[in-house]
Amino acid sequence: MTTTHDFSVSDATGETTSLGQYAGRVLLIVNVASKCGLTPQYEGLEALHHTYHERGLTILGFPCNQFMGQEPGTDAEIQEFCRVSYDVTFPVLAKVDVNGPDAEPLFAFLRAEAPGDFGPAYGEFHEAISRLQPDVAPGDVAWNFTKFLVDRDGGVVRRYEPPVPPGDIAADLEQLL
């Protein structure tokens, strides 16, 4: 059975890193962007990192420029933005695509394992994204700051759509940690 631990990704310097190194840790994998209305979620992600890292949580940020060009910078510029603007200390890896034919294989796997529930229940946010991204296929990542929770064995537990604040994930983290 395939798990997230079977994937390798590029870090911000272009080096390949195996997600197998995170076996035994809970992961929160997030596609991030620096010029998005949801960018302040970096604060909540960093707060989760500070609260739960010692207990076994690793947050992995993957910059993505697929949504209205909201992550235009280079990997080096993104690292600087995260450090200076939000004092991010969790890993922010190389920029990736999360949908489409060039999607990072990890995200194709995450989408298949947790197709999500992005729909009318998300109200105005859903309506706005539906206007901006009318071609989003079922299961696709709809926008920046989609979050995937992964258990210690590499199994995908849950997907949180973009408007879900990181702090709202704490109860689920408590159960896995």
User: How large is the average pLDDT for residues 2-13?
Assistant: 97
Positions annotated as catalytic residues are 36
> What is the rounded distance in angstroms from the CA atom of residue 92 to the CA atom of residue 103?
17
Place of tokens 């990704």: 9
CATH number, domain 4-176:
3.40.30.10
Residue 29: both structure tokens together: 């994998």
**pTM across the whole model:** 0.95
The 10s digit of each residue's pLDDT in 106-133 is 999 999 999 988 877 888 888 888 888 7
| pLDDT at residue 25 is higher than 80 | yes
Predicted confidence band of residue 51 (pLDDT cuts 50, 70, 90): very high
pLDDT at 153: 98
> What is the rounded distance in angstroms from the CA atom of residue 52 to the CA atom of residue 121?
29
| CB under 8 A, 24+ apart: contacts of 101-104 | 104/9, 104/62
